[in-house]
Amino acid sequence: MGRGSYTSNDWNRLKTDRNISAQSTVNDLYRSQNMKDQLNPYHVKYRESCDSMDNPASTAIIIGLDVTGSMGYLSEEIAKNSLNRTMNEIYAKDPVSNPHIMFMAIGDSKSDEAPLQVTQFEADIRIAEQLLDIYFEGHGGGNGGESYLLAWYFAARHTRIDCYEKRHQKGFLFTIGDECCHKDLTVGEITNFFGDISADPAKEKNPENLLQRIFGKGDTGVIRDYTSKELFDEASEKYEIFHIVLKAGAYEYQHSGAAWKELIGNRAIELDPKDLDKLPELLISLMQAAGGKPAREISNEWPGEVSAVVMEAIHDFLPDGEKGMLNF
């Protein structure tokens, strides 16, 4: 997938068609009453980001949104403002070539019916159309975390991206939310939500699983219980991964900022929700920093208030030699 290109005119038409305004709530924006089959990872063998005539040097970008009850404001901001601005800034700043965007909706595999939903990789207005098809389940288990590691599992096992497979250039995977990450993903969860089964048919005793294998479902390698760190490391082989920790909701009582830094180090980026309107600039800046662009050059591309927020957010990700150059 990933033909065509994104334009603001298409976005404006979609806003009119969907009656999207500054007053739209999460329920106005996300009207699906259940998870659509086409977004259910159980029915997806691979999501593909492929080069095309329109996009000959595609870059895969995944944005995973926490859609549990406390995170409605995040999904509102993405749909009403940040998606359009992010696309425009990518084309303006050119941190990557030919962006292909996939959205993921992330919940809780320990409690939710739809803990992961996945759109296609797209390059045009279908990015937004599919985002708005997401079912906002709005639950979460109140159990000390959400299942961001589902995004890592899917990216590692169920995506094929030409930027990596053809050019050995990593894609990008951003997850955003306020809670800690669950510590493990079990075999049962993998089978229930992805349909993946054991890699060795000779050891498969379940006839239904064997039929699934014959018809091409699953078969994505060894299936066992995984820790969050194992899945982060596996997905990191072909994606530059970041988690943006929103400093609200569960942030204080779960100490989620510290927990994320312990899990993934300086790939955990903290952001105050009052600065959520600067999310597009932050995403662009992280792409630039991952590509080796110097901090001062990144900073100089943004106006004063935006520059300060962005540079404070990415400060820990910068090489040690550049940190002393920043003045807050």
Closest alpha carbon to 269 in 317, 302, 236, 323? 317
pLDDT higher for 58 or 205?
A: 58
**Class of residue 74 by CB neighbours under 10 A (exposed 0-12, middle 13-18, buried 19+):** buried
pLDDT per residue as tens digits for the range 234-250: 999 999 999 999 998 88
> 286-289: long-range contacts (C-beta < 8 A, 24 or more apart)?
286/172, 286/174, 286/242, 286/314, 286/317, 287/95, 287/96, 287/172, 287/240, 288/93, 288/95, 289/314, 289/317, 289/318
Q: What homologous superfamily does CATH list for 8-186+225-294? A: von Willebrand factor, type A domain (3.40.50.410)
Look at the block and give the residue holding tokens 């909706």.
105
**Class of residue 46 by CB neighbours under 10 A (exposed 0-12, middle 13-18, buried 19+):** exposed
Q: Is the dihedral of CA 298, 302, 308, 314 positive or negative?
A: negative
Closest alpha carbon to 247 in 177, 312, 182? 177
Q: pTM score, two decimals?
A: 0.91
**Does residue 50 have a pLDDT over 80?**
yes
pLDDT per residue as tens digits for the range 289-317: 999 888 778 888 999 899 999 888 887 77
- Say if CB 69 and CB 138 are below 8 A apart: yes
CA dihedral 219, 224, 229, 230 (to 10 degrees): -50
Pairing of strands 239-246, 171-177: parallel
Domain boundaries, the chain: 8-186+225-294
- Say if CB 100 and CB 49 are below 8 A apart: yes
How far is the C-alpha of 32 from the C-alpha of 50, rounded, in Å?
28
Give one DSSP letter per residue of 30-70, joined into a string.
---SS--GGG-GGG-S-EEE---SS-TT-EEEEEEEE-SGG
Cβ density class 103-129: b for 16+ within 10 Å, e for less: bbbbbbbbbbebbbbbbbbbbbbbbbe
- Say if CB 54 and CB 123 are below 8 A apart: yes
* Listed ranges 72-81, 211-220, 292-301; the one with the highest mean pLDDT: 72-81
**Class of residue 297 by CB neighbours under 10 A (exposed 0-12, middle 13-18, buried 19+):** exposed
Closest alpha carbon to 49 in 152, 148, 173, 147? 173
Residue 206: pLDDT band by 50, 70, 90 thresholds?
A: low
Percent of the chain at pLDDT > 90 equals: 64
